[in-house]
Structure 1
Amino acid sequence: MTPERFSALVAAYGGSPQRWPENERAAALDFIAAYPTQAEVALAPAAELDDLLSRHRVAAPDGAHARRIIATAPSALWRRTRLIWQCAGLAGIGLAGALAGVLTVAVLLSLNSAPDDGDAYALTAFGDMQGDVQ
């Protein structure tokens, strides 16, 4: 094991060999035995951090906090449901617009009858425009 790998192992898993991965634990312990001074440089700060973390305790939430969370849950659910309905409404408006466009084109095309001369342009919505044609 290299000194860099040992330092990375201690930084990632702490100073306690029980927390180190099993496949690297033996090599790390051999490194400690072979290079105690270098190992101590990496292990000392890790041991301090391990001690600090082991003494830290998180207080249990009080009953008022739990009641506030429960009290706001239905309103959060209502906001989410309302947002879903708003999105569905916008999708419905978009579909209605697309359907209106399709129906408009279909009606305009059906009003034009097929010309006798077989002109396909006359079958479009622009076929009956007289404009600049002479």
Structure 2
Amino acid sequence: MTPERFSELVAAYGGSPQRWPENERTAALDFIAANPAQAEAALAPAVELDDLLSRHRVAAPDDALARRIIATAPSALWRRTQLVWRCAGLAGIGLAGALAGALTVAVLLPPNSAPDDGDTYALTAFGDMQGDVQ
């Protein structure tokens, strides 16, 4: 193991050999045994940082924080109101589509003059198309 790799290993995983990757742990321990002064120079800051991090504790949140969170959370009524408006919007879009379709058919239909022969096909938008009909 090179001194650079040992320094990278200690910087990444800390000063405790139990945290080092198993495939590099033996080589790193051999490096410590062969170069104690150089290894100590790399390990000392890492051990100090490990100790500092292990002593750090985060305080539990107090009741005032929980009350503030609950007070600012959206109420169930507000969520239901949003749902109603979304559903109304979707219904309005569907209604607008149906009305647009009905208006299109009404514009494309020929005038309301029923043929004498009882052919109701002539009353549709396709009734006045000329084709191979004989």
TM-score by length of 2: 0.63
Q: 1:63 to 1:40 in 2, by over 3 A?
A: same
Distance 2:29 2:51 in 1: 20
Q: Which is higher, the Rg of structure 1 or of structure 2?
A: 2
Higher helix share: 1
Question: What is the CA–CA distance in structure 2 between the aligned matches of 1:72 and 1:3, rounded to whole Å?
Answer: 54
1:107 match:
106
Kindly provide the CA deviation profile for residues 24-67 of structure 1, in whole angstroms up to 9, marking residues without a partner as x. Answer: 22122122222333323321221121121122122222233334
1:53 to 1:109, Cα distance in 2 relative to 1, 3 A: same
Against the structure 1 CA distance between its residues 23 and 107, is the aligned structure 2 distance closer, same or farther, given a 3 Å change threshold?
Answer: farther
Q: How does 1:8-27 map to 2 (within 5 A)?
A: 8-27=8-27
Aligned length: 117
- Detail structure 1 runs of 4+ shifted over 6 Å in the superposition: none
Unaligned runs of 5+ in 2: 111-124
Q: Does 1:92 pair with 2:105?
A: no
Equivalent residue for 2:57? 57
Q: Kindly provide the CA deviation profile for residues 70-128 of structure 1, in whole angstroms up to 9, marking residues without a partner as x.
A: 4555x355544544444444433333333332332233334446336x17xxxxxxxxx
Question: Which region of structure 1 is more displaced relative to structure 2, 83-92 or 14-23?
Answer: 83-92
